Amino acid sequence: MLNKHIENAYKVLDGKKLSHEEAKALMNGVRGSDLLDLVSLANKVRDKYAPGIFSCSILNAKSGVCSQNCRFCAQSAHHNTGVDTYGLVSKEEALKAAQAVYDTGVRSFGYVTSGHGYREPNEEFMYILETLDALKEKFPDMKLCASIGILSKKTAKMLAEHHTGRYNMNLQTSPTKYADLIADTHTIEEKIQTIKWLQEFGVEICCGGIFGLGETAEDQVDMAFAIKEIDPEGVPLNLLLPIQGTPLEEMPTIEPADAVKAFAICRLINPTKMIKFAAGRETTMKDFQALLMLSGINALMTGGYLTTRGRSVDEDKGFMKKLDKFSSRN
Ligand code: SF4
């Protein structure tokens, strides 16, 4: 017999919405073997409302020495992690990295920098714009994504005018817990404002978060609804990989069963979105990676993450092909 909360959630397949209370009831009322029924529903919802499997790759264009104190992050100057540090890469290096991504067949390239962001169009920001122009000129059919932190209305507009098709800015967790669980050197409001300006200038948004930070199941539901309100095109979901030297170094890695539940419920709350499994696939899920992919995901970040390695693009391609067999179209 189907768990009553899952039975109720089947309405998502008919185009109906899950309420906050219903999502929380699912979170608290589904465990054990019922989890596989939840996975099955999330996979059906993905198949119906978000078909196809997508991928993207990123370049860490400036690493470490970040003034912000994000508790999970290897690149914060507040922590002692021994991460590689370097200033902004040259335009030539960015073009070379994009070429390598292009040659694998991936057509979405993310340009990512560490740091608070750019409220003023300083020299570094202007160089980023130049680099984006050069990338677009060389790879006109590649979607350019940027993730360079908090912006002002002025810098958001300039980025939009320089080929930024999509911008990544993650909520990371429930907005009400941001200061406690993520950082207090900047606010969630600054991030949401940046997103709104970019949307005003026609830039698509990629906005997700991290599970396993020590948040509650309710926080996970709150984050999924906050993401829904932002209405992004992409939702990258990460699993925390506790990094030595950060305040979260002792955090036990999330249980695969809890990760599966959090991902599946995020899909039920955001049925039509491109939900992307980013960091934590190989390191945290290990043998359960495919199960998580069946819990409503339809995109992968491939070829490595910001400060940790991932599987090769070729391995991921084979994996995605096999995964697609779980679609009703096959
Ligand atoms: S997540 Fe970004 S802003 Fe936060 S510490 Fe890391 S690099 Fe800095």
Distance from C-alpha of 248 to C-alpha of 161, rounded to nearest angstrom: 38
- Longest Cα separation, the chain: 63
Is 4 contained in some domain? no
Give residue-wise pLDDT tens across range 208-234.
999 999 999 999 999 999 999 999 999
CATH code of the domain in which 69 resides: 3.20.20.70
75, 113, 178: residue to mutate for ligand 1 pocket, most atoms within 8 A of CB:
75
Q: Give the range of the structural domain holding residue 272, as residue numbers without chain letter.
A: 17-321
Q: Which residue has the tokens 């999970």?
A: 72
Measured from CB, residues less than 6 Å from any atom of ligand 1 are: 66, 68, 70, 73, 75-76, 114, 149
Cβ neighbours for 91, distance < 8 A, ≥ 6 positions apart: 127, 130, 131, 134
What pLDDT, on a 0 to 100 scale, did the predictor assign at position 12?
Answer: 97
Q: Whose CA is nearest to atom 4 of ligand 1?
A: 70
- Tell the burial category of 282 from Cβ atoms under 10 Å away from its Cβ (0-12, 13-18, 19+): middle
Is 8 contained in some domain? no
Q: Residue 148: pLDDT above 90? A: yes
Is 281 contained in some domain? yes
Nearest-5° Cα angle at 24, 22 to 27: 115
Is 264 contained in some domain? yes
DSSP tally for the chain: helices H, then strands E: 12, 11
Band (pLDDT 50/70/90 cuts) for residue 188 is very high
Cβ neighbours for 62, distance < 8 A, ≥ 6 positions apart: 86, 87, 88, 89, 113, 114, 115
62, 66, 188: residue to mutate for ligand 1 pocket, most atoms within 8 A of CB:
66
Q: Residue 143: pLDDT above 80? A: yes
Give residue-wise pLDDT tens across range 230-272.
999 999 999 998 999 999 999 999 999 999 999 999 999 999 9
Domain count, the chain: 1
Distance from C-alpha of 14 to C-alpha of 127, rounded to nearest angstrom: 48
- Answer whether 246's CB lies under 8 Å from 71's CB: yes
Is 175 contained in some domain? yes
Nearest in space to 287 (alpha carbons), one of 256, 242, 317, 318: 256
Is 96 contained in some domain? yes
Give the DSSP per-residue string, 29-66. H--TTHHHHHHHHHHHHHHHHS-S-EEEEEEEEEBS-B
Is 261 contained in some domain? yes
